[in-house]
Structure 1
């Protein structure tokens, strides 16, 4: 492990590093891979075809070696790895770890001194811990401005909370990644079940849901279920109808508070407890298991966390395709987000920033590697050819237009690469994402998202509720308290919904929350909010 440097040495090192990088940039012509302005992919197979216009053959730039840790299953020497190595004049040593094992494997590598040059860190608190242990390279904002200027501008303008994630003790330790969190997820209804129950209109309010659920019960169908084992997803659209989103930090009457302990959450829990007592909620909601199969089998009718692709019959993995395969008469429709007694509605959103790309402390002594990594990230996020190649693959091989002609319906992965495991073996993350920089800027992301899919989001998922900091566990003491608070919330909410405890038990929960660190985090949230506003 490396000891934490003093501030004076850090500033001096950063200035020296910038000077050295300026010299390197002058020698290499800047080193930035130029964007392919005309590479729209429309009517051409040129997008993502592997052609390199970055470090040209015969370039005098010395080849850089980078070790890069990714969360997936990537075959050694994949086509994507070859593309990057050619494009950026780099040799990559990729450590690929399946998502389920990624965090634990990363922790082991960090504690045993096998720190990758570049890696994704999922949790801001992990970043802070690694930074305190001297395992991460500081990345001054001036350096990002120089070598990834479009990326910095994108975050400054569209996802500024991302800098909360990479900042620690007044210093910056990485580059955030983007997340398409301008929308929430839509809700869906089994329209065929509603009609069997005599309900001909899709419910739009909590009151109308009461009526529909009662009718569904008469035909042996639960009204709804949810992931009751989730700290954030449990009945999220119902809480949104009451104007609150539990575990998110929000501003109320000028003060920062947490949605989990607000009176509006108690109101929502009272309604959910009433539904449960009447037999409207699947009793197994607490497990969060088999939600998809149960929905297809007609166990419940209202899905509170659907996908914008749920009704795409051209997609064999969509909800409607899966339903039609087992029940040709089945029908799924989107519904508006349910409105509560005061006209509120909303659904969970993670905001517009996602994870963090960080760099091993050894890169502070190897500025050419840090520069090269920033170049790759900059191109991934902003260069259309690179973004498409890393997120979708090669047109005609890995992907094509969903409608066969243009991007109005977005893109689709082609067999056998419609299997995410097979796609990832090629080094292509899929889902408009990449192992080497995350999602593209919002202009690119929504271009390939598809105009028609965007319209669905705008119509059915356009009231997202995001934490004011993006991630609710961003606060200094979150590592000490947040895990226990989430567990307390999950268990208490489930007890109240099931009737194991009365609704007024919520007041005892608020006391416990505050005593277990909730009040300390609230103070820190207020301080952080005030310092940035």
Structure 2
């Protein structure tokens, strides 16, 4: 939980606000800028000023509605405390977006927290009492489509979607929109996740590696050799046998978006993809956790644990990052953003610490094989029959443009930034929809652009504000290493983690199914518990490796076979 909170508070304020195209065509640059404060309204209101020519493209996407429009939504209440009498429904953010669109957002209902919001959405679906628009998850989207409760947004999106939004969706190679499409009809506007967040990289104390004169890790044998050396050869030089080898987490694998200490990369090297639905060599849909390759990965991990190469205490830590920040380990798996957390704490506690990321271990063919996360998992939907579905699209246009730092109304947008700085309020928490879009390759593109600027190949003054900020932090870190951790975090996240993603080829495996089937709704929790307990017990030696076969048989018997049939039917119907 702490990792997620820190990523949200720190990385998302910088990392997830990635623009990705040098401030280029989002909002059509100069045209939208010239139409900004007021001239935009007069130029697009009813299109009278266009001498009878109907507005198109971004003029229409960002133009005000000719008449006031009311859009009722379901709203997730944030923790932020507003000032000056503002409310969740009427505040500096809502007023700004209304001034741009002439769309007044009202809250049909509010719910605090993810669970309460999900329950409210489920109740709205069950009672067939939907607000005009709301955010739903994948399973809720499926129910709404099956019950014919949603407006077809195909034409509305094509007509009113901004070029920026369309470019963001295009960065997923069509996968995001396809995920919200059924029978060639678009029923939702999806979020876009950053592709870089899925691979789990191997993070190594490079200073320990150099001290012990060890080569960078590539293979499983390399990893084993390094872990053994870190346990036995006093890499921190304190004269005590107090360092451990590879770290782990009691969850064993994350399956989609990783956090510190999952063993996902070990399973990937054996071509095992637990918690993902995959197709086997015969083309059959199978649950990745029961594939025979998992047994090989578990056997390897159990052997390492038995021989002390994996931290014997890994399943007992209250917080998984404890041995990392205490600098008792120099070897763990995690995503590219680890310098934000927990590595910033590691370096603060030991300024000699030098961490480097590797795409390792490689598989038998010398390739780094990784599962990927879904490109989307939330969707803005519009109830069937709502007269102004374009209102939801226009709202997505304007807050995405602001979020991506491409809002041409610079003075008005700056007021939001200043308000956030003065109050600590997160502006994005008051968007009408909890839905963020980014370029799928934002991290890789930002890394490449910043490195070119460092080499003098690109003028950093041409960067969008977020890329410029990473560049500035990178230069500050080069000038004064480890003197300012606020600079060190993004500089190293991109310079080290981003570099691996940008330069190392990867075999990327996507799950063929995300979501829940009818049987999963009642039996999945039991099956997940069985899986997690079995995997962990095999690794720590409480069960023999042969127990994996018993797990597979039990998983099938307890509903797994029926669920597999349901998933197969859904996949084959796509």
Structure 1 partner of 2:354:
331
Counterpart Cα distance in 2 of 1:372 and 1:249: 36
1:479 partnered with 2:479: no
Aligned partner of 1:376 among 369, 392, 395: 395
Counterpart Cα distance in 2 of 1:288 and 1:422: 32
Counterpart Cα distance in 2 of 1:288 and 1:133: 46
8 Å contact from structure 2 (residues 219, 362) kept in 1: yes
Per-residue CA deviation, residues 241-298 of structure 1 (Å, 9 max, x unaligned), is 1112112122222332222111111100000111111222234544674223321112
Q: TM-score, normalised by structure 1?
A: 0.71
Structure 2 partner of 1:228:
250
8 Å contact from structure 1 (residues 125, 479) kept in 2: no
Structure 2 partner of 1:175:
189
Structure 2 partner of 1:118:
133
Question: Which residues of 2 match residues 429-448 of structure 1 at below 5 A?
Answer: 435=433, 437-442=435-440
Structure 1 partner of 2:273:
245
Counterpart Cα distance in 2 of 1:442 and 1:464: 14
Displacement, 1:39?
6.3
Displacement, 1:207?
0.6
1:496 partnered with 2:538: yes
Displacement, 1:463?
4.3
Once structures 1 and 2 are overlaid, which stretch shifts more, 64-73 or 99-108?
Answer: 99-108
Structure 2 partner of 1:14:
none
Structure 1 partner of 2:475:
none
Question: Which residues of 2 match residues 246-261 of structure 1 at below 5 A?
Answer: 246-253=274-281, 254-261=283-290
8 Å contact from structure 2 (residues 278, 288) kept in 1: yes
Aligned partner of 1:186 among 190, 196, 201: 201
8 Å contact from structure 2 (residues 272, 293) kept in 1: yes
Displacement, 1:54?
5.1
Q: TM-score, normalised by structure 2?
A: 0.67
Aligned-partner SS, 1:375: helix
8 Å contact from structure 1 (residues 176, 357) kept in 2: yes
8 Å contact from structure 2 (residues 298, 539) kept in 1: yes
1:375–1:240 Cα change, 3 Å? same
1:367 partnered with 2:387: yes
Displacement, 1:106?
4.4
Per-residue CA deviation, residues 153-177 of structure 1 (Å, 9 max, x unaligned), is 8657735444565457997542222
1:39–1:238 Cα change, 3 Å? farther
Displacement, 1:50?
8.3
Structure 2 partner of 1:18:
none
1:346–1:53 Cα change, 3 Å? farther
1:201–1:484 Cα change, 3 Å? same
Displacement, 1:507?
0.8
Per-residue CA deviation, residues 106-165 of structure 1 (Å, 9 max, x unaligned), is 44666688744332223x22333456677x533353443343386578657735444565
Structure 1 partner of 2:486:
none
Structure 1 partner of 2:27:
36
8 Å contact from structure 2 (residues 305, 540) kept in 1: yes
Aligned-partner SS, 1:212: helix
Counterpart Cα distance in 2 of 1:286 and 1:52: 59
1:467–1:257 Cα change, 3 Å? same
Counterpart Cα distance in 1 of 2:321 and 2:224: 23
1:398–1:493 Cα change, 3 Å? farther
1:97–1:349 Cα change, 3 Å? farther
1:465–1:156 Cα change, 3 Å? same
Displacement, 1:504?
0.8
Aligned partner of 1:422 among 424, 428, 447: 424
Corresponding residue pairs, total: 455
Structure 1 partner of 2:70:
65
Unaligned stretches of 5+ residues in structure 2: 1-24, 47-65, 233-240, 451-493
Counterpart Cα distance in 2 of 1:465 and 1:177: 20
1:515 partnered with 2:544: no
Counterpart Cα distance in 1 of 2:265 and 2:352: 27
Once structures 1 and 2 are overlaid, which stretch shifts more, 50-59 or 264-273?
Answer: 50-59
Question: Which residues of 2 match residues 397-412 of structure 1 at below 5 A?
Answer: none
Per-residue CA deviation, residues 209-236 of structure 1 (Å, 9 max, x unaligned), is 1111112222432222333336525410
8 Å contact from structure 1 (residues 338, 345) kept in 2: yes
8 Å contact from structure 2 (residues 68, 103) kept in 1: yes
Counterpart Cα distance in 2 of 1:251 and 1:350: 16
1:451 partnered with 2:449: yes
Displacement, 1:457?
2.2
Counterpart Cα distance in 1 of 2:186 and 2:396: 16
Aligned-partner SS, 2:191: strand
Cα-Cα RMSD: 4.1
Aligned-partner SS, 1:304: strand
Aligned partner of 1:271 among 281, 300, 309: 300
Question: Which residues of 2 match residues 7-406 of structure 1 at below 5 A?
Answer: 36-38=27-29, 51=37, 55-56=41-42, 59=45, 61-68=66-73, 69-70=75-76, 72-74=78-80, 75=82, 76=87, 77-93=90-106, 95=110, 97-99=112-114, 102-104=117-119, 106-107=121-122, 115-122=130-137, 124-129=138-143, 136-148=149-161, 155=169, 158=172, 160-162=174-176, 165-166=179-180, 173-181=187-195, 184-195=199-210, 198-218=212-232, 219-229=241-251, 232=255, 233=258, 234-253=262-281, 254-286=283-315, 289-308=318-337, 310=339, 317=340, 319-359=342-382, 361=383, 364-368=384-388, 370-380=389-399, 384=401, 387-388=404-405
Counterpart Cα distance in 2 of 1:266 and 1:356: 37
Aligned-partner SS, 1:67: strand
Unaligned stretches of 5+ residues in structure 1: 1-33, 311-316, 400-413
